[in-house]
Amino acid sequence: MKKLLPALLLSLILGGCSKSNQPGENKPAQEDAKHKVSFTITDFAASTTVMSTPGTKATNAVGDTLKNYADNLYYRIYDANGNWVNGTEQTSTSATFGTVTDQLVAGTYTVFLAASKGGLRTSDKTVAFSKADFGPTSTGAIWNDTFIKTFTLTVGTTDLSQSVRLERTVAAYQIVLEDAIPSDAAKIAVSIMYDYPTMALTGANMSVPLSPPVEYALAAADKGVKNKTFSGFLSNTFLPVSFVIKAYNGRNEVIAEKTIKDLKFEKNKRTTLTGALFPPANPSGDFTVVVNPVWAPGATFKF
């Protein structure tokens, strides 16, 4: 199902503020001057479909704010050699959420911005940009709705203002179980073979894939319900993946299992998997496998 691209708009404003030369230095003052860099996230510029809710509910972009799509904001900046310069992060509870300021001397930089509905982990200041990555907060954690942008920023001697558009870097899945949830089912576990636990700051996958299962608890109200829907996110939009869906009872025993192979996902698009998971109570028309223990006479070959 095709989705329009949601984007977080950021305005970039640079204003000059002077810094005197250090004693013994013989440099023009403008070489040491730092400039105030301010990133402010404004309303969305395009309409979108919220992937985190089932169905195709359209959301008008006008009036949407960063808090509607993310509760964490991350800023990392590197110099022309790929070395860490600065970084900061904010939560939606901060009074300045959505506005990031920095002080930079003239030069060329690489900026990484990310907004996520859940927490993210990024490489620390000891890691160069070419090897830096980001992902869920801990190994085995699941992806949330995540937007990123990596771009080159040139700071000169004059003020600069530009807009930056963050783009969704994950895909979404939606699993619809057509059959009724049986009374002894306690949870559904979904494993993605293979999703990536981290991505490079450029948005490419860069690590060995892992497949931690995502578990969905079933409540009493879910029993007997048909078309129960489970949703989530994944980062692997580069290679085909397979889904393993398992149902467990209260004793943590598998009562149903199904594998769907070779699925290709795209960033900012949701793929829906629909089908039956649980075996019918009175199967009819299913294949029955019988092993015959008596071998029939065969040919004899001389060697």
Is 45 a residue whose pLDDT tops 60? Answer: no
Could you tell me the residue ranges of all domains in the chain? 7-168, 171-275
Residue scoring higher pLDDT (167 or 256): 256
Average pLDDT, the chain: 74
E-assigned strand segments in 92-212:
99-105, 107-116, 120-122, 133-136, 146-155, 161-168, 171-177, 185-193, 199-200
Is 71 a residue whose pLDDT tops 80? Answer: yes
- Strands 120-122 and 107-116 come out as unpaired
What is the model's pLDDT at position 27? 43
When pLDDT is averaged across residues 120-132 and rounded to a whole number, the result is 94
What is the model's pLDDT at position 164? 67
Is the domain spanning 7-168 CATH 3.30.2420? The answer is no
pLDDT band at 9 (very low <50, low <70, confident <90, very high): low
Residue scoring higher pLDDT (119 or 7): 119
- Strands 185-193 and 241-249 come out as antiparallel
Cβ contact 6:267 at 8 Å: no
What is the model's pLDDT at position 221? 96
What pLDDT digit, counting tens, does each position of 260-281 carry?
A: 888 888 888 888 888 888 876 5
Percentage with pLDDT > 70 across the chain: 66
What is the model's pLDDT at position 295? 31
Distance (Å, rounded) from C-alpha 231 to C-alpha 53? 8
When pLDDT is averaged across residues 134-140 and rounded to a whole number, the result is 78
When pLDDT is averaged across residues 42-71 and rounded to a whole number, the result is 48
The CATH number given to 171-275 is 2.60.40
What pLDDT digit, counting tens, does each position of 189-226 carry?
A: 999 988 888 899 987 766 666 667 889 999 999 999 99
7-168 and 171-275 in the same fold? yes
The reported pTM is 0.75
